[in-house]
A and B are shown apart, each in its own frame.
Chain A
Amino acid sequence: MGCDPCPGTQRLGSLHRLGCCIVRAARQYPSPFLPCFSASATCDSTQVVAPQAALWFVGVGLLGPCLGRLFNYMSVARLGAARATPLVNASPLFTTLLALVFLGEHITLKILLGMLCVVAGIAVLTGQRRA
């Protein structure tokens, strides 16, 4: 299906234009599961998602569903589902550390306790075979 490049996106390359095309296609075929796509059929996608925001979302896609999933599958292949899943699900530990550093969020007693529990859990899972 043909799709005109969205105005104002020439500098952002094909990924953002692809995002525009998907949004536009979704709006042309309204779905009951995606009410916000069909709610504003005349709205141009570039007016909804700013180019800078689109770049952040592309980064999210590359790190999460792309690399994150790949490493997750490699973990399950190596450790098994039962051991890999809790380790991969320890990601809020890193999110908290990143939020403390980059978003300037404050550490509370609950957060500190949570981080200690996660680290202890990782240590228990890791240490059992070496013991």
Chain B
Amino acid sequence: MSLSDLLYPLLAALCYSTNPIMVKMGLRISNEPLLGATIGMAASTVVYAAYFLLTSQMRDLLAVPPRIGWYFALAGVSSTLGMFTFFTALEHTSATIVAPLVSAAPLVTLLLSRLTLQETERITLFDVLGTVLIVAGVVLLVS
């Protein structure tokens, strides 16, 4: 892995990292988490739809083979289910227990990759060590 390979994951991390700050800013003004999340998701959907419409790629989007489209759709559903179960967990359990458990998600991804993506992804000891270190650090940060 080269330093340039870090660009996209760290950009993603940077984008995600601003979320709690901006959510907190918004909730300080109106303490309505669910409505806030709805507005945010609506804004995101509008931008994606506008991009595909303005660049005349809507036909390409609709031409994605169903077999591949289902994988992306399932990714979206599992992501939404993850959010829903996260909030449900917070209703029943302390955040100090929920947050570290959720942070351990990359370990599950590592295991699932090993089981299902053997042909395309080779996992090394360094991958395991790096993932464990990041998860441990994140657990310390969020707990």
Contact = CB atoms under 8 A, between A and B. Distances in A.
A5 interface: no
Contact of A95 (B5, B17, B105, B117): B17
Given A68-B15, A87-B9, A111-B140, A82 B134 contact: no
A110 interface: yes
Which of A15, A26, A74, A82 has its CB near the most chain B CB atoms (within 10 A)?
A82
On chain B, which size bracket covers the interface? 35 or more
A23 B44 contact: no
Given A59-B22, A60-B23, A90 B13 contact: yes
B43 A114 contact: no
B39 A89 contact: no
A64 B15 contact: yes
B21 A103 contact: yes
A66 to B, nearest CB: 4
Given A56-B25, A57-B36, A93-B137, A130 B17 contact: no
B35 interface: yes
Interface in B62-99: 84
A61 B134 contact: no
A126 interface: yes
A58 B135 CA distance: 29
Contacts of B132: 121
A126 B134 contact: no
Nearest to A99: B21
Contacts of A54: 26, 30, 39
Nearest to B21: A98
Nearest to B4: A78
B39 A91 contact: no
Contacts of A52: 29
A126 B140 CA distance: 22
